[in-house]
Structure 1
Amino acid sequence: MRRYNKTVATFALVVTVVAGTAGWASGSSQQAVTGGPEGVRAWVAAGLPDPAGVTAREVSEFFRSLTSPQQQELIRLHPSVVGNLDGVPVHLRYAANARSLKGDPRFVGRQVLAYDPRGRGQVAVVEGDLERAAHVAVVVPGSDVDAGHSASLVRKAEALHDASGGRTAVVAWAGYTTPVGVGVDAATGGLAEAGAARLVRFVDGIVAAGAPEPAVFCHSYGSVVCGLAARDLKAKDIVVHGSPGMRADNVAELRTSARVWAAKDPDDWISKVPNVRLLGLGHGADPTDPEFGARPVPAADARGHDGYFAPGTQSLRAFAAIAEGDVE
């Protein structure tokens, strides 16, 4: 009876938080964008490799088999596919997305590695030289980030790139359908499951194109995405910050060979979120709990829930050191 009462009380607490009566904002339900990029039907009809049936490595090999004029012709005829097809050489994706964006003022002068206008829009922007950098990082956001609301994510990529002395190429990856606000979508795993598959494929693509395995930095709901992706993710490090949980009770359950790190500053409101999983709600154990087994990242001077990349903070310095492999 005592155990039953505890379960009921926990469920009530989760529902209270999700409903917003504990200070969370309400959120609207989102439909995850899945499948191949826009224009894929015409691409397949032209006899080109179906993205649904090939690996990122096979895509890379296909493009390397083409002459430069053939590659340019594919960019001209199928820019949305070339720009979003994981495994395509980086410089070709930049060129294809520049063609698709046609001077969109949000991304003028940016290295856009992916751009998908479907839904609320998805985008991946690169700071640094992804084709030559010895170290690569991918920054995965939480709620409310999309192609039209990616400026704060790009600033994080810039801050990490600068903190590494320019030695680390950093991808700001708004490549999945994020929750809007902090409602039921943010408290459940549906969008994270779809996002995890996209993240795995994206990282497969940059590695197939010649980049080293990245350090992946996962914020808030993005850490749920990374937790679900961890088993298949080609990453040397997974770093979660402001995490509500990774859908695992401990590092071993993630089944990853990557080093797992966790940060949470004392003022982060995420601490008020119950670390439970019950009837599909909640994301499980706190990754900063010593029993979880993640390596701690100093974050005492980070700023609230979204300030882990603030210049001059311990957390940003630690992130740069992790990205460069300078810490054990």
Structure 2
Amino acid sequence: MRRRRWKRVLIGAFAGCAVLADAGAAAAQAAASTEQLAISTPPAGSAAWVQDHAFGRALPDPATADAATVAAFFASLTSDELDHLIHEYPLVVGNFDGAPPEVRYRANRVAITAERDRARARAADHHLDSGARALAVSRANDCEHLLAPGRQILAFDPRGRGLISEVYGDLASAERISVLVPGSDADLGHFDQAVEPLRSPAGMARALLAEEQHQAPGTRTAVVAWTGYVTPSGLGPDAVTARLADAAAPRLERLLGGLKETTSPVAPPALFCHSYGSVVCGTTAPDIARPAGAATGSEGITDVVVFGSPGMGVQSASELGAGVQVWATRNPSDWIGNVPYLEVGGLGHGADPTAGDFGAEGISSAGAVGHNGYFAPGTESLHNFSSIALGRYGSVSHPSPDAR
């Protein structure tokens, strides 16, 4: 009983620090937050998929098949077989890392259309209470926006608050690929915001792609906004433990495995990890292997950029493995700097990645304001993110000793 009481006190201390640093809306959000149910199982339709022997052979199991197996399977399909699977199992195909991106885009349009129609039917069902109908209207509107021409939805799962990932640029031809891993409150309903777009994964991804194209118009780039895990809601208990990050890491690993099979960039995709997303990246990093032939130097190493980070779950960058190069920044007005950088009994996320003794490469975020200002036009952080994504490391600016 005493241990549980102490754990609640620690949770309150962590959340309280964040709330005091960013009072008002964040305080209300923290008060209303609840623990989230992580999604770790394959999408709806997977059980029927596994039992389907219409082609006279077993289909790869969404729960266990690696990306290479998935890629080989989809390469073996005829166009008729592919059309059948897309329309019969759109959620399975649309979320299958290792399937060709264009196939996933097609499948996810089918899945999103079905979810939009289901939500519209619920919105019109007067047997439901007004709150349920309002949520259905919101879900239908979110889906309708994703069906706009030109959108490339790489993953879509309507369970819970909704998981969604989108590609900006052309993955098939990209020489450089970036993956944005967002933090708390990222979900289907907050994926692409018209008001304050740089608070949303879609807005951040668009800003990064635009800066890359500005810096290197002759380089083919693509950015994946990956909201492929259940994020913490608000500043409650989930935000101060690694529980959701532990469930997210295998999903991020599968994404990277799928990109390895279906794309051919000149370097591994760079990871851009915001806020709690840096905990996800820290949990994933030890399983990112140093590629063969890269025993020295940075050739083939995965760049992991953390910003607005509460920690990466470790005390130093050396604990994250030899396969990653960690870059870190935090602007002075970001409230996350007031959160305790420690880990006690599973609460907290370890050392400050921007501290000099952590071992990350510090980068400047001059001009950025607040926890969500790192992708604002004209900021050093946006310039530096793009330079890292492009492999132009000599163009990266670093914080002054005083700023650090």
Q: TM-score range with shorter-chain normalisation?
A: over 0.9
Q: Secondary structure at the match of 1:291?
A: coil
Q: Which residue of 1 aligns with 2:191?
A: 150
Task: Return the alpha-carbon distance in structure 2 between the equivalents of residues 211 and 302 of structure 1.
Answer: 33
Matching residue within 95, 117, 124 for 2:165: 124
Partner of 1:223: 278
CA contact 2:11–2:347 (8 Å) conserved in 1: yes
Does 2:258 align with 1:208? Answer: no
Superposition RMSD in Å:
1.9
- C-alpha separation in 2, matches of 1:211 and 1:226: 22
- Corresponding position of 2:82: 71
Q: CA deviation at 1:147?
A: 1.1
Residues 51 and 85, structure 1, Cα contact 8 Å, conserved in 2: yes
Give the C-alpha shift of residue 19 in structure 1: 4.5
CA offset at residue 14 of structure 1?
Answer: 6.0
Counterparts of 1:19 and 1:135 in 2: how far apart (Å)?
A: 40
Q: Secondary structure at the match of 2:172?
A: coil
Contact 1:203/1:233 (8 A) holds in 2: no
Correspondence for 2:111: 100
- Looking at structure 2, the residues matched to 211 and 174 of structure 1 have their Cα atoms a distance apart, in angstroms, of 23
Q: Which amino acid aligns with 1:193?
A: D
- After TM superposition, list the pairs within 5 Å mapping 1:129-140 onto structure 2: 129-140=170-181
Task: Report the secondary structure of 2:156's partner residue.
Answer: strand
Task: Say if 2:64 is the partner of 1:62.
Answer: no
319, 322, 335: which one aligns with 1:269: 335
Counterpart for residue 305 of structure 2 = 239
Shift in Å, 1:211: 4.0
Distance 2:34 2:363 in 1: 33
Distance in 2, matches of 1:106 and 1:142, equals: 22
Any idea what the Cα deviations from partners look like across 1:68-124, whole Å, max 9, x if unmatched? 222222112111100001100010000000111127322123100000001110000
Aligned 8 A contact 1:136 1:211 in 2: no
C-alpha separation in 2, matches of 1:317 and 1:207? 26
The two structures have a TM-score, normalised by structure 1, of 0.93
Residue 326 of structure 1 corresponds to 392
Contact 2:271 2:303 in 1 (8 A): yes
1:316 aligns with 2:364: no
Identity %: 48
Contact 1:195 1:225 in 2 (8 A): yes
Answer yes or no: is 1:178 the counterpart of 2:231.
yes
Give the conservation status (yes or no) of the 8 Å contact 1:139–1:218. Answer: yes
**Following TM superposition, where does structure 1 have runs of at least 4 consecutive aligned residues deviating by more than 4 angstroms?**
11-14
SS at match of 1:139: strand
Q: Report if aligned partners of 1:13, 1:274 keep a CA contact under 8 Å in 2.
A: no
Per-residue deviation at 1:17? 2.9
1:159 aligns with 2:165: no
Any idea what SS the aligned residue of 1:88 has? Answer: coil
Which structure 1 residue ranges, 5 or more long, are not aligned?
A: 1-8
1:13–1:267 Cα change, 3 Å = farther
Q: How does 1:34-49 map to 2 (within 5 A)?
A: 34-46=40-52, 47-49=58-60
Task: Report what 2:14 is aligned to.
Answer: 17
Deviation at 1:168, TM superposition (A): 1.8
Structure 1 position 131, deviation (Å): 1.0
Deviation at 1:323, TM superposition (A): 0.5
- Give the paired residue count: 320
- Which residue of structure 2 lines up, in the alignment, with residue 279 of structure 1? 345
One-letter amino acid of the structure 1 residue matched with residue 87 of structure 2? R
Q: 1:122 to 1:264 in 2, by over 3 A?
A: same
Q: Please tell me whether the aligned partners of residues 11 and 237 of structure 2 are also in contact (alpha carbons under 8 angstroms).
A: no
Asked if residue 197 in structure 1 is aligned to residue 250 in structure 2, the reply is: yes
Q: 1: distance between equivalents of 2:221 and 2:364? A: 20
Question: More displaced, 70-79 or 135-144?
Answer: 70-79
CA distance in 2, matches of 1:302, 1:106: 29
CA distance in 2, matches of 1:81, 1:193: 23
Taking structure 2 as the reference length, the TM-score comes to 0.76
Q: 1:233 to 1:35 in 2, by over 3 A?
A: farther
Question: 1:13 Cα deviation (Å)?
Answer: 6.7
Which amino acid letter does the alignment assign opposite residue 51 of structure 1?
P
Larger Rg belongs to: 2
C-alpha change, 1:40 and 1:12, in structure 2 (3 Å) is closer
Q: Secondary structure at the match of 2:165?
A: strand
Cα distance in structure 1, aligned partners of 2:155 and 2:373: 26
Residues in 2 aligned to 1:17 and 1:150: alpha-carbon distance in whole angstroms? 26
3-state DSSP class of the match of 2:368? coil
| Residues 255-264 or 269-278, more deviating | 255-264
Alignment check: 8 A CA contact 1:237 1:260 kept:
yes
Aligned residue type for 1:292: F
Higher deviation after alignment, 205-214 or 253-262: 205-214
Letter in 2 for 1:183: G
For 1:217 and 1:256, locate their aligned partners in 2 and report how far apart those are by CA, in whole Å.
Answer: 18
Deviation at 1:297, TM superposition (A): 1.4
